[in-house]
Structure 1
Amino acid sequence: MPLDFALLRRHPDVEGHGLEASDAADRLILDESAPLVAGAGDGDLVVIDDAYGALALGAAAAGARGIRVHQDLVTGERALAGNAERTGLADRVRSLPLGAELLRGARLVLLRLPRSLDRLDELAGLVARHAASDVVVVAGGRIKHMSLAMNDVLGAWFDRVDVSHARQKSRVLTARGAHEQRQPPAPGWPRGERHDDLGITVVAHGGVFAGTGVDIGTRFLLEQLGGAMPDAPSAVDLASGSGVVAAWLARSRPGLRVTATDRSAAAAASARETAEVNRVADRVTVTQADALERLPDASETFVVLNPPFHSDAALHTGIAAHLFDDAARVLAPGGELWCVWNSHLHYRPLLERAVGSTRQVARNPKFTVTASRRPE
């Protein structure tokens, strides 16, 4: 029986008008792969970067079993689990980390195309190395987020890449003929880059925000952090990305213990490796989590945040509001949230309501840095 997409929810991710748990690209991927799904044996199918479970559960509803799934975001993994229970398909899917076990022996991979070419390159390489030699990759997305360069990235790992007709502003790429070495060869993943001006090396997996670079908002924030909360025994790098802020704080303050947390598995893996290469892993604890769920109430005095403002492909302030609220919960009385944000987003009233008294620390033509203090 076909999946009823109306049953799917985004929870615990941001929900609201215009934020759907599935879209036309999911349906096109499932339609284009339907004959392959019908012929797949138990355990042959792998689904990667399925936002909220539409691909995995659509394939399960079509009869596939033993479906292995990897979603980068912990919120997506939890949404899949909830949707699987809601649709009665929980026994057909299981979530795994990105790696050899996920892909070993796979003959069909359904992939929601990432917007990052680096992410696509890393995923394609893993599929080519670990899946069955006759694996077929059916990858799709919204045309506005696709580029011809995606064909080239897949073509570096597969002999043949076919392009579907467009439907409802979506398109699918189908790749066959995997080879284990990239053509032409390129550096592997993760990759690292030294930033002498900051005194740190940044390590990143494909698709992590800013990659091995340091974005200008984070740089502006770091310029302000030298004297921030100097007596704090610990700090939290919330939405840590590649772990730039965590590593910089730990390097700058030899006695400081830092918790770095991000909902992205790729970001958490990158932050761990960034801490390792900068020799601060003994004082930096990295977790993959939804905001600060693993930290108790009123337990920290210093939280640092460069908040994302996209929910999947949609511009939405709900993620920032969620992070502000959880920072407020974790801050002890008198603790502070230091935050950098694009000035046009006007986050200050939101910070005032969620955390407390908020002062502007610095502002340039694009970014604002604020410090919000939890009432004592």
Structure 2
Amino acid sequence: MMNTILNINSQELLLNRFPKSNDKNLQAWDSADEYVLQHIAELNLDSANILIINDTFGTLACALNAYTLHWQSDSHIAKCAVEQNLEDNQLTPNITFLDSLTLPATAPDIVLIKLPKSNAMLEQQLHQINQVMTPNTQVIGLAKAKDVHTSGLKLFQKYIGETTTSLAKKKSRLIFAKPTVSKFDDNAEKLVSWPLEGTEVTISNHAGVFANTQLDIGARLMLENIPNNLDDGYAIDLGCGNGVLGLMVAHENPQVTVRFTDESYMAVASARLNCENAFDDQDRFEFDWHDCLSNYDYDQADLIICNPPFHQLKTVTDHIAWQMFNDAFRTLKHGGKLRIVGNRHLGYHIKLQRIFDNCTTIASNSKFVILEATKP
């Protein structure tokens, strides 16, 4: 694998994405990371308790390892990345890892928040910061300049206080918010809920979940083609999101145990909530915040269903789908089936044919296709 070196503030750091890649364009940091690290260096801090949010591959954690760190992310892949990069750089910082629904126990001196992919997620995270900040907390947002919008700045003003932005540097910008807003009395997250058409089920989503206000059109086609011929056994909803596909597998196959797994903590939490709301018997369900099916046992699943992503952050890539399909092949029993939905143009049938040596088209429309492969 190609090694990528970041030289910043008299430090030389070996940093890689997770999983590691030979693509030189997929480095583990961007100019927003560099901008905020230079700003922190200029503060000349002897010590500080820093809360880092949305550190995509651990660059901030590695570069700020001399401070007391609380590191929060919704992404299990990001957590794997920071652990790997800390190990590769032989760093042992004072760091506490937090999932995206857990707040630090102590008030931070500085909060560094890399803007997330949606305003819904940003609002949730700023609401959390509001609960732990003090008047002396420095809240600093960082992002590419093109991703800093008026709507996001208004959220900083709503939940933190007076907000200004820096000049753009290398096409990135910093956001400075001064805590002047009182703590919100309602410290509970506001879930998004919507009825699943054709059923009596209400789907609830945490802020960070894909398609968190309605059923996406690929999942809609998959719901029309859920297997219903399993008398018992074990099924996995891989990359489960809010769990809607696994819920329908459980509904159509009442004797089957279903495991929901996703690299998003909020996705797994949403799936758990939706199972609790839809079924009385919770012993049938398992939940796992995990990187695909890495470290799962061989030959254990009868069915795996999947709506694979074709991007990591804002980078279009097929490596996640490759990992999902290879992990599924290992995890399925002989005769077990992987059923996926994907955009027609992605050519997933070629990957499945290469891995499984078979692939069947179950259904299709003008945009999506349902494919099934059986482990020989």
Task: Return 5+ residue gaps in structure 2 as ranges.
Answer: 1-8
Q: Percent identity?
A: 28
Query: In the alignment, residue 285 of structure 2 is paired with which amino acid?
Result: V
Which residue of structure 1 aligns with residue 203 of structure 2?
202
1:11 aligns with 2:18: yes
Structural mapping, 1:292-371, within 5 Å: 292-371=293-372
Deviation at 1:180, TM superposition (A): 4.8
Length-normalised TM-score, structure 2: 0.90
- Do the aligned residues in 2 keep the contact of 1:237 with 1:258 (CA within 8 Å)? yes
Please, what is the CA RMSD of the aligned residues? 2.3
Residue 129 of structure 1 contacts residue 179 of structure 1 at CA under 8 Å; is this kept in 2?
no
Deviations 1:122-174 (A, max 9, x none): 10000101233332221111234443211122222022111111122211212
Map 1:58-77 onto structure 2 (within 5 A): 58-60=63-65, 64-77=66-79
Matches within 5 A, 1:96-107: 96-99=98-101, 101-102=103-104, 104-107=106-109
Q: Is the 8 A contact 1:115 1:146 kept in 2?
A: no
Kept after mapping to 1: 8 A contact 2:108/2:133: yes
Residue aligned with 2:321, SS? helix
Match of 1:56 in 2: 61
| CA contact 2:70–2:95 (8 Å) conserved in 1 | yes
With 105-114 and 276-285 compared, the bigger mean Cα shift is at: 276-285
Distance in 1 separating the partners of 2:270 and 2:46:
34
What is the CA–CA distance in structure 1 between the aligned matches of 2:315 and 2:297, rounded to whole Å?
30
Task: Report deviation, 1:267.
Answer: 1.3
Aligned match of 2:161: 159
Q: Residues 265-298 of structure 1: CA distance to partner in whole angstroms, max 9, x if unpaired?
A: 1211221112112235332211001111353101
Return the alpha-carbon distance in structure 2 between the equivalents of residues 346 and 226 of structure 1: 22
In the alignment, which residue of structure 1 is the partner of 2:273? 273
The reply on whether 1:29 has 2:30 as its aligned counterpart is no
Give the equivalent residue in structure 1 for 2:122: 120
CA distance in 1, matches of 2:180, 2:206: 21
Q: Distance in 1 between matches of 2:367 and 2:235?
A: 26
Judged with a 3 Å threshold, the aligned counterparts in structure 2 of structure 1 residues 152 and 243 are, in CA distance, closer, same or farther, namely same
Instruction: Give secondary structure in 2 for the equivalent of 1:21.
Output: coil
What residue in structure 1 maps to residue 52 of structure 2? 47
CA–CA distance in structure 2, aligned partners of residues 287 and 297 of structure 1: 17
Aligned to 2:10: 2
Residue equivalent to 2:233: 233
Q: Deviations over 1:230-270 (max 9, x none)?
A: 34522110000111112222233322210000111121122
* d(CA) in 2 for partners of 1:113, 1:123: 10
Contact 2:131-2:187 at 8 Å conserved across structures: no
| 1:15-65 deviation line (CA, Å, top 9, x unaligned) | 5332111111111122234344x33734x21101101111122222xxx42
Deviation, structure 1 residue 306? 0.1
Q: Give 1:2 shift.
A: 3.0
Q: Out of 97-106 and 281-290, give the one that drifted further.
A: 97-106
Deviation of the 1:101 alpha carbon: 4.4
Preserved CA contact (<8 Å) 2:226 2:248: no
Structure 1 contact 129–180 (Cα < 8 Å) conserved = no
* Matched residue type, 2:45: G
Q: In structure 2, what is the Cα distance between the partners aligned to 1:80 and 1:108?
A: 19
Partner of 2:282, secondary structure, is coil
Shift in CA distance, 362/26, structure 1 to aligned 2, threshold 3 Å:
same
CA distance in 2, matches of 1:173, 1:311: 24
Tell me the SS of whatever aligns to 2:224.
helix
What TM-score do the two structures reach when normalised by structure 1?
A: 0.90
Following the alignment from structure 2 to structure 1, what is the Cα–Cα distance between the partners of residues 278 and 307?
21
Q: What secondary structure does 2:24 align onto?
A: coil
Between stretches 73-82 and 139-148, larger displacement belongs to: 139-148
Structure-2 residue corresponding to 1:132: 134
Partner of 1:189: 190
Give 1:222 deviation, angstroms: 0.7
C-alpha deviations, 1:306-357, integer Å up to 9, x for none? Answer: 0011112200001100101000101111111000001111111011112331
DSSP-derived class of the 1:102 partner: coil
Tell me how far apart the structure 2 counterparts of residues 190 and 110 of structure 1 sit (CA, whole Å): 25
- Indicate the SS of the match to 1:224: coil
Rounded Cα–Cα distance in structure 2 between residues aligned with 1:139 and 1:224:
43
